[in-house]
Amino acid sequence: MGNFINKFSLEGKVALITGASYGIGFAIATAYAEAGATIVFNDIKQELVDKGLAAYAEKGIQAHGYVCDVTNEDAVSAFIAQVTEEVGPIDILVNNAGIIKRIPMVEMSAKDFRQVVDIDLNGPFIMSKAVLPSMMERRHGKIINICSMMSELGRETVSAYAAAKGGLKMLTKNIASEYGAYNIQCNGIGPGYIATPQTAPLREIQPDGSRHPFDQFIVAKTPAARWGVAEDLQGPAVFLASEASDFVNGLILYVDGGILAYIGKQPG
């Protein structure tokens, strides 16, 4: 195998993963640390940053945690300047922070719709815009946007989320198109249904002790016949952050146990 495996190393890289105190962001960050990167993360509350720092320390990772709301352009500029000064320029950005609101569209306020789009789509725009100039100057950089099944599919109650994640897919392709010549790769990861706090309401045990109908539905809809776990995203995330993917640009890598390939089970 020779030194081929070194192409997957993140040794000497600074990786910023947004909203990575727990959940998918945390799993990706721990994989990056194992691959050799220095980890920087942010969250909206100090309490969450502290919780995240303790969780990283428990895994033997000395992460750098900051409070920063990804929707606040001034705060993000100051945050990136501070990280650059205290840790170093960012080589890898993972736009992971995101929220969902499950509300039927006709009942959803424009305020709620805007908030989802603000965090899930404007946030990645603001963060990417803040790190790109230094990446352009240094002629290398990796941006990974955490997309969704809802970058491709719709379903009841998630209009804002689907609009934002569909937009994030196209923002990914546009960053790749606009800055690819600077040796900057921007790709997306589209997780399937992953067991994290965000999807906990869809897995709640029912008052009669049975599984949530959505839980049963999604397992039947997934060829792998299970929910994903955050660790399922680690290999793809390391690949897209590493030199091994230097000619991969504008791709959305769906890590979904086969959901998008499958027409679904015949009823009965």
Residues near ligand NAP, by CB under 6 A: 18-19, 21-25, 42-45, 48, 69-71, 96-99, 119, 123, 146, 148, 191, 193-194, 196-199
Tally the residues of the chain.
Answer: 268
Shortest Å, Cβ 255 to ligand NAP: 9
**CB neighbours of residue 210 within 10 Å:** 10
How far apart are CB 88 and ligand GCO at their closest, in Å? 32
Identify residues 87-146 at the interface with ligand GCO (CB under 6 A).
100, 102
Whose Cβ is closer to ligand NAP: residue 45's or residue 155's?
A: 45
CB of 21 to ligand NAP, least distance (A): 5
Tokens (6 digits) for 109? 């306020």
Should residue 199 be labelled a site residue for ligand GCO when binding is judged by CB under 6 A? yes
The interface partner of residue 141, options being ligand GCO, ligand NAP, none and the CB cut-off 5 to 8 Å by kind, is none
Nearest to 49 by CA among 19, 89, 6, 70: 19
Which distant-in-sequence residues (6+ apart) come within 8 Å of 30 by Cβ? 56, 59, 61, 234
Q: Which of 21, 145, 148, 242 binds ligand GCO (CB under 6 A)?
A: 148
* 265 contacts 220 by C-beta, under 8 angstroms: yes
- How far apart (Å, rounded) are the C-alpha atoms in residues 146 and 228? 15
Binding to ligand GCO by CB under 6 A, coded x per residue (else -) over 222-241, reads: --------------------
Residues marked as catalytic: 161
Place of tokens 């993963």: 17
C-beta closer to ligand GCO: residue 124 or 192: 192
Per the CB < 8 A criterion, the answer to whether 117 and 85 are in contact is no
Our CB check for ligand GCO shows the closer of 178 and 231 to be 231
Contacted entry of ligand GCO, ligand NAP, none for residue 158, CB cut-off 5 to 8 Å set by kind: ligand GCO
Q: Residue 104: how many CA atoms within 13 Å on its side-chain side?
A: 2
Look at residues 210, 216, 212 and name the one whose alpha carbon lies nearest to residue 202. 212
Q: For residues 138 and 203, which CB has a smaller minimum distance to ligand NAP in the complex?
A: 203
Least distance CB 148 / ligand NAP (angstroms): 4
Could you give the CA distance from residue 215 to residue 113 in angstroms, rounded to a whole number? 25
Choice between 142 and 207, CB closer to ligand NAP: 142
Rounded Cα distance between 152 and 231, Å, is 22
- Interacting residues toward ligand GCO by CB under 6 A: 100, 102, 148-150, 155, 158, 161, 191-193, 198-199
